Amino acid sequence: MKIVREISSLRESLKEKRKNGATIGFVPTMGFLHEGHQSLLKKAREENDIVVLSVFVNPIQFGPNEDFETYPRDIERDEKVAGDAGVDFIFYPAVEEMYPNEAAVSLTVKARTNVLCGAKRPGHFDGVAVVLTKLFNIVQPDKAYFGLKDAQQVAVIHSLVEDFNIPVNIVPVPTVREEDGLAKSSRNVYLTEEERQQAPAIYKSLQHAEQLIENGERNPENILASIREELTRSTGGEIDYAELLSYPELKKIENIHGKIIIALAVKFSGARLIDNLIIEI
């Protein structure tokens, strides 16, 4: 496994691999790797000759009151996880390497962003689109792997590669969970002991909603009311949002049909957790 910090060096290394016919799988992350990331790396390892992992906490996708400075970082741990997963290259650039100058061109994501996390994080997905466009151009992977825990991000990324004809196959990977159902997240470390005991209620409320749909409920508002009741009863967290939308379009619907997403965000004292279920009727 090789750690690369310069764009030019990574490009040169991958150019040689590509010249020899190797396929390249890419897993872009912000580091502090957990089992969710491991599942992405495992999938990439199974499907490609070369696996590239990027570790870069992208400053331009954080808002002014968000946790860029305190976002957990542990490159030694990341290196171990990557090595165990069979990663070939870790791209670990400095901010100055990725953004050496003030940008002359900007990207604005206009669809699939005015709901869920995007509704309260203006500019967030613009930052995601910029860094991924740069990373896709640097790595030029055949496939790129993203977790469905952030299903809105996956929907936006699909739009990005379609709109700009980026020649990469986006591979969504199911959410990895703890034994009690809580979605794996770098931010779970910020939960208090009591909050950690309450947090699995997020997934349980989604499962309950899925059961209601399977039993014939088709009114989104009834489903969402049930979720809010479950979360209020079972946690001390604040419900940031609970939404039921078409997927991947992320549009409001009056009757449940086709592929939908039920998505939640719950704020605890030190962490905001998201989760979702994608269901096809």
> Is 185 labelled a binding residue?
yes
> Is 19 labelled a binding residue?
no
Cis ω on the peptide bond leading into residue 72 (within 30° of 0)?
Answer: no
> Is 35 labelled a binding residue?
yes
37 in catalytic set = yes
Nearest to 141 by CA among 164, 117, 114, 170: 170
> Is 147 labelled a binding residue?
yes
Q: Spot the catalytic one: 37, 158, 208, 257.
A: 37
> Is 187 labelled a binding residue?
yes
> Is 205 labelled a binding residue?
no
| Burial call 230-250: b when 16+ CB within 10 Å, e when fewer | bbeebbebebbebbbbebbeb
Query: What whole-number distance in Å separates Cα of residue 89 and Cα of residue 83?
Result: 9
Q: For residues 142 and 161, is the Cβ–Cβ distance under 8 A?
A: no
> Is 34 labelled a binding residue?
yes
* The two three-digit tokens of residue 51, written as one number: 């696996």
> Is 153 labelled a binding residue?
yes
> Is 277 labelled a binding residue?
no
> Is 150 labelled a binding residue?
yes
> Is 211 labelled a binding residue?
no
> Is 176 labelled a binding residue?
yes
Nearest to 198 by CA among 238, 241, 225: 238
Amino acid at 213: I
Query: What whole-number distance in Å separates Cα of residue 83 and Cα of residue 2?
Result: 10
> Is 36 labelled a binding residue?
yes
Q: Where are the alpha helices (DSSP H) in the chain?
A: 7-19, 35-47, 75-85, 95-98, 116-119, 124-139, 151-163, 193-198, 201-214, 220-234
Query: What whole-number distance in Å separates Cα of residue 41 and Cα of residue 90?
Result: 12
* Residue 261: half-sphere exposure toward Cβ, Cα within 13 Å: 26
Annotated binding site: 30-37, 61, 147-150, 153, 176, 184-187
Question: Which residues contribute to the annotated binding site for ATP?
Answer: 30-37, 147-150, 176, 184-187
Residue list for the binding site for beta-alanine: 61
State the binding site for (R)-pantoate.
61, 153
The residues that are catalytic are: 37
